[in-house]
Amino acid sequence: MKSRILACVLVALVLLISACGGGSTSHEATKAHEPSYPNGAKRAPSGMTGGGTAPAVPVPRPSAGTEPADKISTFALDVDTASYGYARGTLKQGRLPDPAQVRPEEFVNAFQQGYPEPPGDGFTVQLDGARGAADGSALLRVGLQTRTAEATARRPANLTFVVDVSGSMGDPGRLDLVRDALHTLVDQLGPGDQVSIVSFSDQARLRVSMTPASERRELHATVDALGTEGSTNLEAGLVTGYEEAARAFRPVATNRVILLSDGLANTGDTTWQGILDRVEEQAGRQITLLCVGVGRDYGDALMEQLADNGDGAAVYVSSPEEARKIFVERLPASLDVRARDAKAQVVFNPATVESYRLLGYENRRLAQEDFRDDAKDGGEVGPGHAVTALYAVRLRPGTSGQVAMATVRWQDPDTREPAETSRAVDLAELSGTLWEGSPQRLQVDAVVAAFAERLRRAENELFVENLDGLAEHARRLATATEDPMVTELAELIRAAGSLE
């Protein structure tokens, strides 16, 4: 408590000094401090510093109203894409997704961004935006990017697969899809990798203890032997999985538990908090979690909260093609962790910004003082990941100068040493209009976010287009970007329009 009081006093002194004499933009490790906007709307130097080019309780969705510009926006980074994957599968089945399961940040983060990569570990920060159709409205984009890694250059991996074999997994597109994905992944792993497999229904069972990936015949046979039975004791599965991962822990390796389930827990403790409490000790040993969701009926809330609060990520797959993409293209190259407990903070300038609204991230928002409290959990980000946050902004008329400064803070995955980097953006740097002249990927992000807002029936002061208009923008951008995902996006928007 004394240390927290001291920290608050130091922050207050820094802000007071900044208000009187102008703010520093040094963001070197923990020496960084915030711009002085809220205490006098002074302009911080523009440009980027650092290395690069220029919770636990869910909050009801969608978010209500806007925040005044003198309130600082802070959130934990999130690389989940499960919400978009599930909505895509639902729309292809001819159904609208449940609005409560639509998270705009996961829609946006499912798409390519093309941000520049940093030369080393850590992040680059890209900050840009465009003016909206209504007077004073604007879209601000905060883009964060880590450096990619070749699969052959990564550290070895210890992977503990926790596979749901309960009765509900017998439906088409569940256990059959999981088996196919596991077979494919086993064939992709290298000689330094190791695999263990746990299954669970009423009880959990260790099918094979940590085994070198080169023992492919044994691993394939174990996968083939997985069959459905009983109810869903997800708690028992994760506890057994984490115990196995902790027993076989290798400091030189990436240690990860991978849960494959429809998330429909009905036996044992069925709450994410209770489950994570059971594995807290093992999870604290730098064992990360990946939740892979499957099935037409899907326990989205449980899987999302397990990932968000268990140092992990959540994805959803509805076809063998999507599963292979996750396990063959994404997972092997991103088994390492680039940044632990990563957080972002955006400070708006009240002299140029009247109010803002962060689109999504309701379950990841943090108090302002949590940003530099390294005991507060952030998000784990792997190699080559892009994280995007979009803000609907109301600008003050007739002003000029800086709009905002965005800072990302993270810890080194091995040493836990904190570091930061920042970037600022001026009004003059915003594109004139969103749909004319702004970067193509920014326009794609706008279409995706607007689509998510429509699906969750959120009031939106920035996006005035109906679904037909959004589909037309998506078709235009699909041609310009030659991106198959944007082509599919246009089809999904049209499908949603036909279901309303």
DSSP state string for 105-159: HHHHTTS---PPPPSSSS-EEEEEEEE-SSTTEEEEEEEEEPPP--GGGSPPEEE
Summary mean pLDDT of the chain: 86
Segments making up each domain of the chain, as ranges: 48-148+338-499, 151-334
Helix (H, G, I), strand (E, B) or coil at 5: helix
Per-residue pLDDT tens for 212-249? 999 999 999 999 999 999 999 999 999 999 999 999 99
The residue that leads in pLDDT, 321 or 152, is 321
Kindly report which listed range (23-32, 67-76, 328-337) carries the lowest average pLDDT score: 23-32
pLDDT-based confidence at residue 283 (cuts at 50, 70, 90): confident
pLDDT at 280: 85
CA 379, 380, 383 angle in degrees (round to 5)?
135
Q: Is the pLDDT of residue 463 over 90?
A: no
pLDDT at 497: 96
**If you average pLDDT over residues 432-440, what whole number do you get?**
93
% pLDDT > 70, the chain? 86
The residue that leads in pLDDT, 16 or 291, is 291
Q: Is the pLDDT of residue 50 over 60?
A: no
pLDDT at 355: 96
Q: Is the pLDDT of residue 266 over 50?
A: yes
Q: In angstroms, rounded to a whole number, what is the distance separating the alpha carbons of residues 431 and 439?
A: 8
pLDDT-based confidence at residue 284 (cuts at 50, 70, 90): confident
Looking at mean pLDDT, say which of 7-11, 120-124, 374-378, 389-393 comes out highest: 389-393
Q: 165 vs 44, 169, 179, 210, CA distance in Å?
A: 56, 6, 11, 20
Q: 468 vs 35, 243, 496, CA distance in Å?
A: 41, 51, 10
**If you average pLDDT over residues 276-280, what whole number do you get?**
90
pLDDT-based confidence at residue 282 (cuts at 50, 70, 90): confident
Q: Is the pLDDT of residue 462 over 80?
A: yes
pLDDT at 255: 93
Looking at mean pLDDT, say which of 27-41, 148-162, 361-375 comes out highest: 361-375
Q: Is the pLDDT of residue 33 over 60?
A: no
pLDDT at 56: 33
pLDDT-based confidence at residue 133 (cuts at 50, 70, 90): confident
pLDDT at 61: 47
pLDDT at 24: 32
Helix (H, G, I), strand (E, B) or coil at 453: helix
Looking at mean pLDDT, say which of 48-57, 150-159, 178-187, 448-457 comes out highest: 448-457
pLDDT at 9: 36
Q: In angstroms, rounded to a whole number, what is the distance separating the alpha carbons of residues 49 and 422?
A: 5
pTM: 0.85
Q: Is the pLDDT of residue 422 over 90?
A: yes
pLDDT at 38: 53
Instruction: Please choose, from the candidates 139, 490, 99, 162, the residue with its C-alpha nearest in 3D space to the C-alpha of residue 312.
Output: 162
User: Which residues on neighbouring strands pair with residue 260, listed in sequence order?
Assistant: 163, 292
pLDDT at 152: 63
- Tell me which fold the domain 151-334 belongs to: Rossmann fold (3.40.50)
Helix (H, G, I), strand (E, B) or coil at 299: coil
The residue that leads in pLDDT, 184 or 459, is 184
Q: In angstroms, rounded to a whole number, what is the distance separating the alpha carbons of residues 149 and 118?
A: 12
Kindly report which listed range (31-45, 396-410, 484-498) carries the lowest average pLDDT score: 31-45
pLDDT at 333: 61
**If you average pLDDT over residues 17-32, what whole number do you get?**
36
**If you average pLDDT over residues 4-26, what whole number do you get?**
37
pLDDT-based confidence at residue 111 (cuts at 50, 70, 90): very high
Per-residue pLDDT tens for 163-177? 999 999 999 889 999
Q: 30 vs 146, 371, 411, 499, CA distance in Å?
A: 20, 11, 11, 51
Contact 322, 42 (CB under 8 A): no
Q: Is the pLDDT of residue 99 over 90?
A: yes
Q: Is the pLDDT of residue 269 over 50?
A: yes
pLDDT-based confidence at residue 300 (cuts at 50, 70, 90): very high
pLDDT at 138: 96
Show the DSSP H helices in 158-291 as ranges. 175-188, 216-224, 234-247, 272-278, 280-283
Q: Is the pLDDT of residue 39 over 70?
A: no
The residue that leads in pLDDT, 284 or 14, is 284
pLDDT at 11: 37
**If you average pLDDT over residues 242-260, what whole number do you get?**
94
- Tell me which fold the domain 48-148+338-499 belongs to: Immunoglobulin-like (2.60.40)
